[in-house]
Amino acid sequence: MAAQPSGVVIVAIDFGTTYSGIAFARPGDLVPKALHTWPSRSSHVSAKYSKVPTALSISPDNDTQWGYGVSSENEPFVLFKLLLVRQDLLPQTVQTSPLFRDIQKKSALVGMTGRALASAYLGKLWQHFLSDARFNEQERNEMQLAITIPAGWPESVQADMTAALREAGILASTPGGCNVRFFWEPQAAAHAMILDLNQECGFEADDMAIVCDCGGATVDCITYKIESVSPLQTREVVGSAGRLYGVAFIRAGFILLLKEKMAATRPPGALTVAITDAELEAFAEIQWDQKIFHPFSGDELYFPVDIPAHWDGESRTLRFYKADIVNLMASAVRDVCDLVMAQHQAVSEMTKHAQSPKYVLLCGGFSGNPYLRDALQKRIPGPTKVQWYEDHDYGRLHLACEITLSTDVQGIELEVLAISHAGTGVDGIEFAVRRNGALLGRESARVGYYAPLAVEEPTT
């Protein structure tokens, strides 16, 4: 098997605003391995997902929990990656959102900056990674780190991230100091998607593709030209651009609307009880995120939402109409479409209107939303087609590409041979690895599909 050429272990961290992941390639590995096992609250290890929540909780006796292990009793810290950016650079929707203000307030209360929270979280992720990957001494001697940051974030974020990695003890994991390389998130996503969707999209030399990673808080775009199909070679033709957008705050908008609808339909004389924020969040996660927002296609007239009887003395069903949902999503959808359109426009100008990108390749959590995909397809002119990962484990591929950037895997093609399903999700993939058409080997990966975000319950 052709292999990762140097004697260095390459480690890639995808530090996401809402979910993070980590993958690595040992010398000799052809395909990077992404971690799929994460500790959870009961010390039980959930082996389902290739990404883990970017969340921390700190108990009064200073016990820090992270990822699936956070405790809702200790008010978890979430979205703290946003604190790495100067507040005035954040969009108004984010700056003024109660959720963001709450994050600022909570971090100030415990005297922790965004960098300190990032460092605490990355330190936990790293410790778990080292104990899971079990490197030998020689491997520990030479490690190189690849880390991605959203397109367009200021230079200062790289310095802050490096400091966070140092303070977490990550850079000192290797005797000579771990070398760090930064990549833009859309560069990484583009490498993964073009490589992975090459067969499905039937790319030909000179085709162009816009890649758009719409994640939990940032949307990033870039445009590549396919220079040659076999071996696959690409060239960046429109530079990366990104912005923070309010997708993570859509749930907060739902909670506000829920309160308004409840107040407007409350039975006369009904007792009003104080519903805690934690209770509302848990309710919204299931009733909104999972049942309405994630599958919303725009074809539905309304979604019924059952209100628990103990909230105001009477169980009843509220309706969330299509227009309610479209309104809640409007600014996030517009941000994604505007950014993609700017890349499309740049291609038009560059080619003097002679060529359009063949595809918009969508990835990131929001790309799972059918309404967004449809809105983008309607907005994008001409023959450009919107394409997304269907049955793939986006996380694994996203991480894999970050390693791709640092290793010599030019000409590598992955062909999916079999996909095993578990429940509504994908459980495992078996694939053939080829370089320039020659079979190098077969690999299998245990994966988790995006939508179900529940933690596996302990088997007692």
Ligand X SMILES: Nc1ncnc2c1ncn2[C@@H]1O[C@H](COP(=O)(O)OP(=O)(O)OP(=O)(O)O)[C@@H](O)[C@H]1O
Residue holding tokens 């005297």? Answer: 111
Strand partners, 13: 22, 147
| Least Cβ distance, residue 26 to Mg ion (angstroms) | 25
Between residues 395 and 413, which has the closer beta carbon with respect to Mg ion? Answer: 395
**370: its two tokens:** 């059918």
Specify the pairing of strand 438-446 against strand 33-34: unpaired
Restricted to residues 287-326, the positions that interact with ligand X (CB under 6 A) are 289, 293-294
d(CA 209, CA 386): 10
* Binding segment (CB under 6 A) for ligand X, from list 13-21, 34-42, 125-133, 164-172: 13-21
* Binding segment (CB under 5 A) for Mg ion, from list 101-109, 209-217, 270-278, 291-299: 209-217
Q: Does 451 bind ligand X (CB under 6 A)?
A: yes
What letter would DSSP give residue 368? G
Restricted to residues 13-42, the positions that interact with Mg ion (CB under 5 A) are 16
Using CB atoms, what's the residue nearest to Mg ion? 215
The option from ligand X, Mg ion, none interacting with 218 (CB < 5 to 8 A, set by class) reads ligand X
* Binding segment (CB under 6 A) for ligand X, from list 12-20, 151-159, 198-206, 378-386: 12-20
Residues whose CB falls within 8 Å of the CB of residue 5, separated by 6 or more in sequence, listed in order: 407, 408
Residue 273, judged by CB atoms within 10 A of its CB (0-12, 13-18, 19+), counts as exposed
d(CA 373, CA 298): 11
Q: Cite the beta strand spans of 48-203 per DSSP E.
A: 52-53, 55-58, 64-66, 77-78, 143-149, 179-184
Q: Does 215 bind Mg ion (CB under 5 A)?
A: yes
The option from ligand X, Mg ion, none interacting with 153 (CB < 5 to 8 A, set by class) reads none
Contact 4, 29 (CB under 8 A): yes
**361: its two tokens:** 């390749």
Q: Does 368 bind ligand X (CB under 6 A)?
A: yes
Between residues 58 and 241, which has the closer beta carbon with respect to Mg ion? Answer: 241
Q: Does 242 bind Mg ion (CB under 5 A)?
A: no
Per-residue contact track with ligand X, 198 to 237, x per CB under 6 A?
Answer: -----------------xxxx-------------------
Interface residue list for ligand X (CB under 6 A): 16-19, 51, 215-218, 248, 289, 293-294, 364-366, 368-369, 450-451
Interface residue list for Mg ion (CB under 5 A): 16, 215
